[in-house]
Amino acid sequence: MAKLEVVPQQPDLWAQLRAAAQDAAREEPRLASQLNAVVLAHDDFAGALSFQIARKLGDAELGAMTVREVALSAFTADPGIVAAAEADLKAVQERDPAIRSLLQPFMYFKGFQALQAWRVAHWLWTQDRDTLAFHFQSRISELFQLDIHPAARIGSGVFLDHGTGIVIGETAVIGDEVSMLHAVTLGGTGAERGDRHPKIGRGVLLGAGAKVLGNITVGDYAKVASGSVVLKPVPAGCTVAGVPARLVNCPTDATPARTMDHTLSDIVYDFVI
């Protein structure tokens, strides 16, 4: 009888995060108190995440304890928020070669932190608590230099790399497993009201500085090159580049958001001046 191969199980995300915090506290005792307060003192990922959001967003007008109560209320009412946050953290782990462990994005990466605070703001928006949702949006913008309208819709497993300068409009929709770099804008084309912002499909890669404007669709697993201005729909599985953007490669990489491959097809460079 053939011997079964035993595949060692990977520790779950919370266990990985705690282990990384314990290691870091030993290696850097000056941060041990902070790491204990943010991670090690909590029983689960939701508790640690609510504390992290609270210590970042709390201010003189809305104290950290109140922010934490709001976050925990959101997590209790909609456990999908915590599941999405876990998927976002795993996305950073899979796609960012700069991290040493889950501790870095959880503690220090503003793209991840801003997205989790936005998830609470979005829950507030769905509860018709617009004023508090806008307060969260304002604090996120002040702290992290990202401006995400609380009414926007964002899937899970989303990676906001670096994050600085990202702007996401009110009626924008972002699918699961999207990767987005700094200075990306998902905006409108004028002062019109109503449904006016882009719809980004699953697994899309949006390069640094890309501007996608108007109520247009970027299809699943498409890629928008850095610095491009997209004004027309992008077919699924294609790459667009330029100002204004044009199709340069169909099909592109099968999973661009996961591979984080920002290069273009060789044919784009095969030109004569």
When pLDDT is averaged across residues 38-49 and rounded to a whole number, the result is 98
When pLDDT is averaged across residues 98-103 and rounded to a whole number, the result is 95
Per-residue pLDDT at 132: 98
Nearest to 112 by CA among 210, 219, 17, 237: 17
* pLDDT tens, residue by residue, 238-249: 999 999 999 998
Which amino acid makes up residue 173? V
Predicted confidence band of residue 253 (pLDDT cuts 50, 70, 90): confident
Question: What are the structural domains of the chain?
Answer: 13-144 (1.10.3130.10), 152-261 (2.160.10.10)
* pLDDT tens, residue by residue, 131-153: 999 999 999 999 999 999 999 99
Nearest to 157 by CA among 94, 70, 72: 94
Whether the CB-CB separation of 140 and 57 falls below 8 Å is answered with: yes
In the predicted model, is pLDDT for residue 98 greater than 60?
yes
In the predicted model, is pLDDT for residue 266 greater than 70?
no
